[in-house]
Structure 1
Amino acid sequence: MINKNEEDNRILKAFKEKDWSEIQSQDSWQIFKAIAEFVEGYDKMAKIGPSVSIFGSARTKPDHKYYKMSVEIAEKLVEKGYGVITGGGPGIMEAGNKGAQQSGGKSIGLNIKLPFEAVPNKYVDVDKSINFDYFFARKVCFMKYSQGFIVMPGGFGTMDELFEALTLIQTKKVGRFPIVLVSTAYWGGLLEWIKNVMGDEEGNISPEDIDLVHLVDTPDDAINVITEFYDKYMLKPNF
């Protein structure tokens, strides 16, 4: 964990005056590091074929129902010919990779280096694991190479990934790939607030924007949303 002194130093550093040479030597070189992450990510991800991302909490334990559901969803995705992309860490991410590996499918992990929850899980294919320092580079790889998103219950990181996908689809920066939220008990209140407050009361989204997400409660229903979407276009993943 980051200790208090480190946190304080980060805040103080932001207000520290820097001369131009210091900016060039430190900040500018980070650009090349970010480019390197994009290059590695694009190179590996371009070879995986049609895949679905599974998002969810890193804190979910193997005996939890959402972990077991994620394993089942990943297994069924593989049976339909999709690869499975996760954040590569523990919890729901581990469950997704586990299900994909158990069914003999592609199991991809886009791991982020953090002070906690950063250890890649053992179910990611060795040649399909990528370690990121930058969240933005990681999210680009998620969004660029996913043909659908299944969102299990999770925390801030899961919300970040969900709303990144929603924003890009709403603004037509990417295609209208299916977004599936699993668990009415967990997501129902959020969707109700989005529809009633964000939409109806404040007009901050269009009425049809709520249709960008599908709310389900079972693995089969989650898979059906993905398959029915692509059946409309007569598209099938590669087996």
Structure 2
Amino acid sequence: MLVVGCKKNEFIPYYQPIMSLDDKLQGVEVLVRWKLSDGSLLLPAYFIEVAEQMEVINEITITLVKKVQADFRRYSSNYNRKVFCAFNLTAQQIENKSFINLLILTLKKEKNFVPSFEITERQHFNNLALAKANIRRLQEQGYQVKLDDAGTGYGGFSYFMDFNLDGVKIDKMFIDVIGVDDVKVEVLNSIIMMAKRLGIDIVAEGVETQQQVDFLRKHNIDYIQGYYYSKPVPFKDLNFDN
């Protein structure tokens, strides 16, 4: 089904806004959806792991990048400033030199948005040296690379030492403790403090309440993402006027 889905061009991008502390749209995270023949949408949790195992994840990602480029071209009249556009990459993709070459080539002449990348900490890197070299190549192209799901996976904060990353995305599990558990919120405070000392961007995802927004504003993080502002939507439903 995955192979057929690729051939039938069934994988499409949805976009979740990433906002500054003053509620201005600064960027979007690109999230893949599988649009089946009956019009229903499958979330990535149902197919991404299998896509990686079958090695069709690279084809899906490049297809997604091209559709994002087409969306920004098609709706260019909807916005008057460039925003960053964050694509998710797996550990397997980061370690694939040929894929990184193709990704850079695909985005080389992009003028309508600023590409950036998020790598998840929930997957294990087999070749740190190769991953480091490929991340550096992306950064040399002017693309930011951020750590997704920080504090939840294999690498711990050693990834900051290994990869010289540009930012960190704080996982929803840490945001959920705001106003609920004063002890666990100290872990969140530690992540924020560490990122600030490293001088890197901080994105909080999974934000759903005013209390969480107030806490994050008080701690002066850089960006906020979550249902408080918007669920993932098709490009035409993004509001660039914020």
* Max Rg structure: 1
TM-score by length of 1: 0.29
Structure with higher helix content: 1
Structure with higher strand content: 2
